[in-house]
Amino acid sequence: MKNEPQATMHFGVLCDGRQLQLWQRNCLEQLQALAGVVPVVLLINRPPLDSTAGRLFRHLDEAVPGSPASLTELPTNCASLPCIELQARDAAAQISALRLDFVISFSAASLHELHAIAYYGLWRFEFGDWTQFRGSPPGFWEVYRNAPVSAAMLCRVTGDRDEVIPLRRGSLSTRPFSYPRNRDQLLSRFTHWPAQVCRDIASGDAQYLAAAPLRGRSTLNTAPCNKGVLRYCLRLAWYVVSRGMRPWFLHDHWNIGIIEQPVEDFVHPQRARRPIRWLPTPAPGEFVADPFGLIRDGQLTVFCEHLDYGGDAVGTIAAIQPNGDSSRVPVSIGPVPRVHLSYPAVFEHEGRLLCIPETQGAREVALYELQRFPDRWTRVAILIPDCLIVDATLFRHGERWWLAGASDPGGAHLGADLHLWYATDIRGPWTPHASNPVKTDVSSARPAGPTFVSEGVLYRPAQDSSATYGARVVINRVVALTPTTFREEPAAFVAPDAGGPYPDGLHTLSGVGNVTLVDGKRLAFSGAEFRRVLRRMVMRRVRKLF
């Protein structure tokens, strides 16, 4: 179908009956909340009943009321739409006469033969890595195979069932001990994607609709038989024993390193990476991480998170002068009562030294100003109130100030959702981006240090926690950034020094002058952290008893 698009976008809803899953209804409601996006037809496909799933899986797959997978009725204005049965003899002619802009499909069938049904095509969700875990059921095979991440994609269907055009892609950390929980997070976290694509179309920034297709090379998964579910249960028992005990005996130990080269070098692979000079090893049971730097009177000062497993294990901010005696100075910053502090994003603006530390425990993103160098700061503004945002990062782009921060409503605490706000003044008021969260991806969403510009291009360092928390840093090239659009793509990766003392993670890349600050992680046993975890578990059991 090659009809020209209309000013008002008319779309069709394709499903297998007059009921939807709750996540699908939420997806439609977000589409209909957009001005000028109007559903005009209900397309019903009646595929043959799927008899491949065993009885045990059907029991395992039952959705509790309120689950994203639970059944619900169509939204009222969709239920009353004209209906076309795809099996009807003149269905193709009826659909063509409607001149649809796009069709959103919730059918279990791929229906690739309908790829040209509308001007912008047939859109459908695919759950699972397109190259490894294609097919159904959503989230099952990642748990079965102990995959670290579970992926999702909104795609445009092509005439080849093994090829799709990705419109949105994202991933979440797999819930390793529960298929229903893993399924539900996948179904609930990406329902805003079709609305985001519609905003891009309205803004003239949807060239990806005609991008080269992505070809899947794995076979299509189907629901497991009874034997498959029994194997899943045995695997799950082993995961609980082997992986569930790991946090008791392996704990994160971070330290800060200095690389004598500018951060811009890291997006140019031809420029050799210089060695890391690590600060003195913190005392047993302590670590420092999240480095940000300021150069004052020619002297580099590093502001960072400090955490002591032997104390209350609540982070504080510290200042270190690495070219001096490297002693750690406690910094007075943050709200009262005290909350966990980290990621002290310091910067200079109009001759003033400012900082936005992570204060998620206070449910705010706040701006602090230096009163006495380096250890006394005062809050001067609350930028984003009543929010659970980590690693807020301020930067200038075009005529606006931008603020990037991450959240994780799924409870994984890895910051898979990226949110943006913008303002004309650094104190605000701050307006949320129209497409928040602009990105949901555990491998490239959460900020990992200040943005920087190289050869006129804006780059945004982000954490890749797909394999483990803070495994490496991905440097994203920002392709489009306006109040209604956002696109970025990976430009380079910065992995930990495999041969150094901290080979197990790296989650901050922070440029300051001609040097770059990083942090590194090693996994090792900490008696203090072991006792804290044990104490917390005992107290949790005691509370349940009383």
pLDDT digit string, tens, across residues 385-417: 999 999 999 999 999 999 999 999 877 778 999
pLDDT of residue 271: 86
Domain boundary among 244, 272, 301: 244
Portion of the chain with pLDDT greater than 90, in percent: 70
CB 259 within 8 A of CB 496: no
pLDDT confidence of residue 222: 86
* Cα separation, 209 vs 241, whole angstroms: 45
User: Does 1 map to a domain?
Assistant: no
On whether both 229 and 364 belong to a single domain, the answer is: no
Q: Are residues 203 and 287 in the same domain?
A: no
Say whether pLDDT at 312 is over 90.
no
> Which of 244, 261, 295 finishes a domain?
244
Q: Where are the beta strands (DSSP E) in 311-441?
A: 316-320, 328-331, 342-349, 352-358, 364-372, 376-385, 390-397, 400-407, 417-423, 431-432, 439-440
The predicted pLDDT at position 3 comes to 52
How many Å separate Cα 102 from the centre of its chain? 27
Per-chain mean pLDDT for the chain: 91
Residue 154 reports pLDDT greater than 70 = yes
Specify the DSSP class assigned to residue 135. Answer: B
Q: What is the mean pLDDT of residues 529-543?
A: 67
Tell me: the pLDDT tens digits for 207-229?
A: 999 999 999 877 788 888 899 89
User: What is residue 120's predicted lDDT score, i.e. its pLDDT?
Assistant: 97
Instruction: Label residue 50 by pLDDT band (50, 70, 90).
Output: low
Residue with tokens 């960072």: 304
For the entire predicted model, the pTM comes to 0.92
Whether residues 67 and 209 fall in one domain: yes
Amino acid at 531: R
Q: Is the pLDDT of residue 242 over 80?
A: no
Q: What pLDDT shows up at residue 1?
A: 42
Statement to judge: residues 239 and 266 lie in one domain: no
Q: pLDDT category, 439, cuts 50, 70, 90?
A: very high
Q: The tokens 């796009």 sit on which residue? A: 102
Q: Give 84's pLDDT tier (boundaries 50, 70, 90).
A: very high
Residue 255 shares a structural domain with residue 318 = yes
475 within 8 A of 451, measured Cβ to Cβ? no
Nearest to 259 by CA among 45, 64, 518: 518
Question: What confidence tier does 119 reach under pLDDT thresholds 50, 70, 90?
Answer: very high
> Taking the chain, what is the end-to-end CA distance rounded to the nearest angstrom?
66
Residues in contact with 250: Cβ distance below 8 Å, sequence separation at least 6, in sequence order:
523, 524, 525
Residue 497 to residue 269: CA distance in whole angstroms: 16
φ, ψ (nearest 5 deg) of residue 188: -95, -20
Is residue 2 in some structural domain? no
SS3 90: coil
Q: Which of 78, 96, 6 is nearest to 42 (CA)?
A: 78
Q: Which of 182-196, 241-255, 259-273 bottoms out in mean pLDDT, i.e. has the lowest?
A: 241-255
Which two three-digit tokens encode residue 6?
Answer: 């209309």
Question: What is the number of other CB atoms lying within 10 angstroms of the CB of residue 234?
Answer: 10
User: What total of structural domains would you count in the chain?
Assistant: 2
Q: Which of the listed residues 191, 212, 244 is the one where a domain comes to its end?
A: 244
pLDDT tens for 318-372 read 999 998 777 899 999 988 889 999 999 999 999 999 999 999 999 999 999 999 9
Q: Is the pLDDT of residue 533 over 90?
A: no
Domain range for residue 406? 246-542
User: Per the domain annotation, does 386 fall within a domain?
Assistant: yes
Predicted local distance difference test score (pLDDT) of residue 402: 98
Grouping H, G, I as helix, E, B as strand and the rest as coil, residue 194 is helix
pLDDT (0 to 100) of residue 528: 66
Q: CA–CA separation, 111 vs 131, rounded Å? A: 20
